[in-house]
Amino acid sequence: MDNESARLEDRVERLEQIVTELLARTGTAASRESPTPVGGDSGVAVSTQPFAPIETVESSEAAADSNAYLAFVGRTFLVLGGAFLLRAVTDSGQVARGVGVIIGFAYALLWLIAADRGARQQRLSALFHGCAAVIIAFPLVWESATRFELLSPNVAAATVVLLTSLTLGVAARADLAAVATLAMTSALCLAVALLVVTQQFVPLSIALALVGVATLWVGYWRRWPWLAWLPALLADAVVASLVQRTLSGDSSSPPMTVILIQFGLLGAYLGSFALQTRLRQRSVDPFEIVQTAAVTAIGLIGAVLVSHYSEVGVAVVGVGSFALALVSYGAALACRRSGGGYAANFHFYASFGLVCALVGSIAMLPGPVAAIFFAVAALAVAWLAGRLPQATLLFHAFVYAFAMAAASGLLALVGAAFVVAPASEWLAVGLPVWLALLVTGALVVGTRPPRVDASEVTRLSHACVLLLFTLEASAIVVVMLAPSVAGTPANAGVLATLRTVVLAAATLLLAMIRYREPTIVSAWLINLMHGIVGLKLVVDDFRHSEPATLFLALGVFGVALIVTARLVRRPSAPRSSGA
């Protein structure tokens, strides 16, 4: 055993000697291969050790990067110096201003092309070339439009869009986020400055909208979602300012042109959102939701205001709104059929379709025609909600039913029946009112929740429809009985009691329906009706009723509460054993 241990120790010592000799030879070879610079020491220490420390390598790489940045910064200053040389030649009169401006744009375009071609080999060089092109081109547009007066506001706005599009294209192709950000910021600053100086809202609002859409698509391409926020905000603000100036009479732009700009802003963004969500099969993101709300308020509702103010383009706004509604509902159904869990897209497009339909009807249709449209829309959407099924569409049916009640005069009848007594005569219950009540009743029967475990949105939507129908039917009863019971003009105390009795009876009827069919009437709806009647007693009955009529109102409401409590306590009616 001792001999074997000694042999192992000898072998280990020989291996250590061999490794030491190899390391010494490697260090000698490295020192021989490193040339000595002509003219003395170069200032860069070359390590003769076989393995240099990691800190030394990192520090040398950082120094190399800083030197590269300095070199490119110096090259950029030379490029800018060339631009100022062209400016000096132009100012001296040796070159005409128009020719000098053209040469300046060509000079900026040259460096933009250099950035595009050099991006594959040296991205850092392409970055500085692209920034230099932006720094040269955009200030040149400002001077050409203001100082030299060579570019009109329309041409200046088109030039801003062209330069921004070219720069964004190069930046996206070369994956240069800094160049894209600089181009976007420069374009926005230049557009705002031109707007302040020239007060030409039409061309510059169009330019800002196009720049916003361009940044949106570049952001989609390169996954730069932050790029589109500021252009969209500024485009919305400028178009909104244009609308405000038109409504106040301070704008010289034709109202039809303003309407077309509003629809252009709306269509450009919503079309982009629809293509992206459909092609990439993804859900809408926060920017798309926020911007849709903004362009809907500015582009759609603002267009209605402009058209009614100027009495121009009403038909265009109405037809455009209905077209957008159809397209939006079609996109929502397409999202539903595609599946894949894109429920947010369905809600997004369906909600926008609802807004467009409401705006279009308000802008274009008179009251009776609008009531018929809302009735058809409510029934159609409720039918779709039963076939899909989709709780969002059931809520849309309630909204259309509410709009139908407003357009037909039924909502005004509800207000007259329970809020304000008429001074001379009661409102007539005409055919549009009866048709609206019939449609709401059909919605109640046709959209009843089929299961106890239906979604909360479904149950809430159905309860809203049922509440609307209850108030409408109660209002018609009050209006029909009031002339003979309360007189004309109506006695305030008798009318208050009549209102309370009718509402209490309606609450009791709802409780009886819930007793027979718990899925039709929600418990909270009955409690809400109790709250409405109680509030009415405090606000109306105690102020206007005589003791005798107040006794009747309180008694009826008390009996209704007792009976309702017993009915609601049991979830369903007992089944007869004889069947």
192-196 long-range contacts, CB within 8 A, separation 24+: 192/234, 193/142, 194/142, 194/145, 194/146, 194/153, 194/156, 194/157, 194/160, 195/238
Task: Work out the average pLDDT over 318-323.
Answer: 88
Rounded CA separation 79/108 (Å): 9
Position 241 scores a pLDDT of 93
Amino acid at 497: T
- Which range, of 341-345, 457-461, 485-489, 532-536, averages the lowest pLDDT? 341-345
Is-contact 212 231, C-beta < 8 A? Answer: yes
Position 55 scores a pLDDT of 47
| Residue 27, number of CB atoms within 10 A of its CB | 15
- Whether the ω angle into residue 50 lies within 30 degrees of 0, i.e. cis, is no
Position 49 scores a pLDDT of 45
Position 159 scores a pLDDT of 94
Position 70 scores a pLDDT of 53
Residue 89 pLDDT class (50, 70, 90 cuts): low
Rounded CA separation 259/212 (Å): 19
pLDDT tens digit string along 165-217? 999 999 998 888 999 999 999 999 999 999 999 989 999 999 999 999 999 99
Position 31 scores a pLDDT of 45
Sorted by sequence, the CB contacts under 8 Å of residue 118 that are 6+ apart come out as 125, 126, 129
Is-contact 521 512, C-beta < 8 A? Answer: no
- How far is C-alpha 523 from the geometric centre of its chain's CA atoms? 36
Position 565 scores a pLDDT of 84
Most confident of 8-17, 338-347, 480-489, 502-511: 502-511
For 39, which DSSP code?
Answer: T
Residue 250 pLDDT class (50, 70, 90 cuts): confident
Is-contact 365 408, C-beta < 8 A? Answer: no
Position 338 scores a pLDDT of 58
For 326, which DSSP code?
Answer: H
Rounded CA separation 432/410 (Å): 8
Greater pLDDT, 394 or 18: 394
Is-contact 329 351, C-beta < 8 A? Answer: no
| Residue 420, number of CB atoms within 10 A of its CB | 8
Rounded CA separation 508/117 (Å): 81
Q: Token digits for 239?
A: 């178009």
What DSSP string describes 478-534?
HHHHHHHHTTTTTPHHHHHHHHHHHHHHHHHHHHHHHHH-TTTS-HHHHHHHHHHHH
Position 64 scores a pLDDT of 44
pLDDT tens digit string along 390-433? 678 888 999 999 999 999 999 989 988 888 766 567 777 888 89
| Straight-line distance from the first to the last Cα atom of the chain, in angstroms, rounded to the nearest whole number | 104
Q: Token digits for 54?
A: 């990691």
Q: Residue 261: pLDDT above 60?
A: yes
The HSE-up count of residue 297 (CA atoms within 13 Å, CB side) is 10
Mean of the per-residue pLDDT values of the chain: 80
Rounded CA separation 219/234 (Å): 17
For 228, which DSSP code?
Answer: G
Greater pLDDT, 485 or 91: 485
Q: Token digits for 467?
A: 């509440």
Is-contact 138 88, C-beta < 8 A? Answer: no
Q: Residue 29: pLDDT above 60?
A: no
Residue 22 pLDDT class (50, 70, 90 cuts): low
Regarding pTM above 0.85, the answer is no
Residue 63 pLDDT class (50, 70, 90 cuts): very low
The HSE-up count of residue 244 (CA atoms within 13 Å, CB side) is 7
Q: Residue 156: pLDDT above 90?
A: yes
Q: Residue 353: pLDDT above 70?
A: yes
Q: Residue 511: pLDDT above 60?
A: yes
Q: Token digits for 446?
A: 């046709």
- Which range, of 33-42, 331-340, 377-386, averages the lowest pLDDT? 33-42
Residue 48 pLDDT class (50, 70, 90 cuts): very low
Position 272 scores a pLDDT of 92
Sorted by sequence, the CB contacts under 8 Å of residue 550 that are 6+ apart come out as 493, 497, 541, 542
Q: Residue 17: pLDDT above 60?
A: yes
Greater pLDDT, 75 or 250: 250
Residue 43 pLDDT class (50, 70, 90 cuts): very low
Q: Token digits for 83?
A: 């631009």
Position 493 scores a pLDDT of 85
pLDDT tens digit string along 454-479? 667 777 888 899 999 999 999 999 98
CA angle, residues 26, 29, 30, in degrees to nearest 5: 85
Task: Work out the average pLDDT over 556-569.
Answer: 85
Position 346 scores a pLDDT of 85
Is-contact 102 137, C-beta < 8 A? Answer: no
Position 207 scores a pLDDT of 95
What DSSP string describes 64-106?
HHHHHHHHHHHHHHHHHHHHHHHHHHHHTTSS-HHHHHHHHHH
Alpha helices of 284-423 — where are they, by DSSP H?
286-295, 302-310, 314-338, 343-364, 367-387, 391-408, 410-418
